[in-house]
Amino acid sequence: MPKQIKPKIKKTKEVPKDNSTKKIKIKIIGLGGGGGNIIKELSKKLDFSSNKIDFTAVNTDVQALETLPNNLKKVSFGEGETKGLGTGRDVALGHRVAESEEKKIKNIFSDQKDLYILVASLGGGTGTGAIPVFSKVAKELNLTTLGIFTLPFSFEGKDRMREAQKAIEEAQASLNAVLILPNEKIFKFVKDDIPFNSALDIINDQLAKSIQGLLSTVYSSGLINIDWADIKATIEGVNQRAYLNTVQVKLTDDLSLFTKDLLSNELIEYNFQKSINVLFNIEGGKNLSMKQLAFISEKIHELAPEARIIFGLTQNPKLKNEIRATVLATGTVKKEEKIAPPKKEKPVLKKEKVVTPKKKPKEVISKVEEELKELEELGVEINRRNAVEIKKAEEEAIKKENEEEDIFEIPAFLRKKK
Ligand SMILES: Nc1nc2c(ncn2[C@@H]2O[C@H](COP(=O)(O)OP(=O)(O)OP(=O)(O)O)[C@@H](O)[C@H]2O)c(=O)[nH]1
Ligand SMILES: [Mg+2]
């Protein structure tokens, strides 16, 4: 039996205005061909408008950059040596040209964002060669960084894998946290005769969904907000292994299965189990209830009993009868133990009371308060806003939702553009 250590409970505190998550600025840098593909996928998915996210694709291959959409910034480097044609899988060349372009790299990092996410598919020459250099420069500039890397398929050969592992080792020493997805793991889900590009599309899609969930956690205002200090605390440190996953289901789906999916993403190199820092956010429409939060919290506590758990709760009017949960965990362990299959538990979702904030905001707030207390008793760390802030956020959400509903009561051809 693991030791049951109750996570420390944070006392109610007011979120400082100038430190709110809404102001966080993030830059996502896709390095090499695969890195560019992944950030392209992600930029298509963002379901909220945010000018706070900057997408930048960096490559030695000019043609590959040209195929990317124009909402991504594009930076070519090493053109002198590669003639803009890529490195042809030459890692030493990728490394060399990155070193010779240090000025350009510093310039990419000069825009004072709060968080820089570096994304690359390792196994080629550009991403694999350049990522240690980008990471080193970021560290010299004292930036907060998260590296997200895929590893090559085994059929690409042992040398590719060795080069990729070496690049990660070097980069890790300079990055705060690193998330790794071995491409090979896709064969747990698809037949091995799947076309190469389709396999990549599935991996990119899954990865983009998880990053999207993380960004949504950062930018959506919630009944319970995760603030920048919480995110920073989860990522900070050096060489932290990270687990990130997002799962979206219908409210009527089995909650224990949902939790299992959320906490055991087979595509990720590291397990969620025994994580040290856990940050999770639940988004839902009107029917969002604290019971789902309590259920997931308990499971998290069971699998990572010593973790410091921070959660957020967000209303997203676009999620009508669905909930979406995102987990970011660090200090996780390498996959060796399997997560035990969940016990047969009654799905909690079906019978629960429906929260109707539109009509009775005060009741909802007191209900939230009541359930927050229950959660605190369970030992979950709650970063609360004070009652005034919760009420304000609630009223704003209701106002927005009412406005949206009003618009849709007007026939489409009569609707005026605002
Ligand atoms: N998940 C994923 N992996 C990819 C993708 N494209 C390529 N890969 C993998 O990443 C490795 C490196 O490919 P690229 O990213 O194209 O290489 P590069 O960094 O541009 O380097 P060069 O083209 O050799 O200069 C490949 O061996 C594949 O295993 C992609 O879109 N998604
Ligand atoms: Mg390339």
Any idea where the domains of the chain sit in the sequence?
22-217, 243-409
Q: What is the pLDDT of residue 290?
A: 74
Please answer whether residues 385 and 352 qualify as being in contact, where contact means their C-beta atoms are separated by less than 8 angstroms: no
pLDDT band at residue 387 under the 50/70/90 scheme: very low
87 CA → ligand 1 middle, Å: 12
Provide the CB-side half-sphere exposure for 293 (13 A, CA): 30
Task: Give the CA distances from residue 38 to residues 118, 212, 225, 254, in Å, rounded to whole numbers and listed in that order.
Answer: 11, 12, 28, 30
% of the chain residues with pLDDT over 90: 53
Q: How far is the CA of 100 from the centre of ligand 2 (A)?
A: 18
Q: What is the Cα–Cα distance from 274 to 237, expressed in whole angstroms?
A: 17
Please classify residue 282 by burial: count the beta carbons closer than 10 Å to its beta carbon, then call 0-12 exposed, 13-18 middle and 19+ buried: buried
Test site for ligand 1: of 97, 150, 180, 196, most ligand atoms within 8 A of the Cβ: 150
- Please tell me the CATH superfamily of domain 22-217, with its number: Tubulin/FtsZ, GTPase domain (3.40.50.1440)
Q: Which pLDDT does position 386 carry in this prediction?
A: 44
Whole-number pLDDT of residue 417: 38
In this model, does residue 286 exceed pLDDT 80? no
- Return d(Cα 276, Cα 260) in angstroms, integer: 19
Percentages helix, strand, coil for the chain (3-state, rounded to 5) are: 45, 20, 35
pTM of the model: 0.80
- Euclidean distance between CA atoms 364 and 247, whole angstroms: 26
Residue 284: in which H helix or E strand, if any? strand 277-284
CA distance 377 to 374: 5
Residue 326, Cβ neighbours under 10 Å: how many? 28
Model confidence at 411, pLDDT cuts 50, 70, 90, reads: very low
Q: Tell how far the Cα of 96 is from the centroid of ligand 1, in angstroms.
A: 18
What is the rounded distance in angstroms from the CA atom of residue 105 to the CA atom of residue 111? 11
Closest-approaching ligand to the CA atom of 36: 1
Spatial separation of the C-alpha atoms in residues 192 and 176, rounded to whole Å: 34
Q: How far is the CA of 204 from the centre of ligand 2 (A)?
A: 16
Give pLDDT tens digits for 368-386: 566 667 666 655 555 554 4
How many A from CA of 34 to the centre of ligand 1?
Answer: 4
- CATH number (3.40.50.12780, 3.30.1330.20, 2.60.40.10, 3.90.950.10) of 243-409 reads 3.30.1330.20
pLDDT in tens, 219-235: 877 777 788 888 888 99
pLDDT tens-digit series, residues 99-129: 999 999 999 999 999 999 999 999 999 999 9
pLDDT computed for residue 380 by the predictor: 57
Q: Are 312 and 288 in contact (CB under 8 A)?
A: no
What is the gyration radius of the CA atoms in the chain, in angstroms?
22
Instruction: Answer yes or no: is pLDDT of 356 > 50.
Output: no
**What is the model's pLDDT at position 378?**
59
Count of CA atoms in the C-beta half-sphere (13 A) of 107: 9
Q: Is the CB of 289 under 6 A from ligand 1?
A: no
Q: H/E element holding 73?
A: strand 73-76
Whether the predicted pLDDT of 86 surpasses 80: yes
Interval 141-183: pLDDT, tens: 999 999 999 999 999 999 999 999 999 999 999 999 999 999 9
As a whole number, mean pLDDT of residues 227-255 equals 86
pLDDT higher at 305 or 417: 305
Give the pLDDT band of residue 353 (cuts 50, 70, 90).
very low
Mutate to test the pocket of ligand 1, among 121, 156, 204 (most ligand atoms within 8 A of CB): 121
User: What pLDDT does residue 400 have?
Assistant: 61
pLDDT of residue 124: 97
Is pLDDT of 215 > 80? yes
**d(C-alpha 8, C-alpha 410), whole Å:** 50
Express each pLDDT in 24-67 by its tens digit: 899 999 999 999 999 999 999 875 556 779 999 999 999 999 99
**Contact, 73 vs 91, CB < 8 A?**
no
Which amino acid appears at position 26 of this protein? I
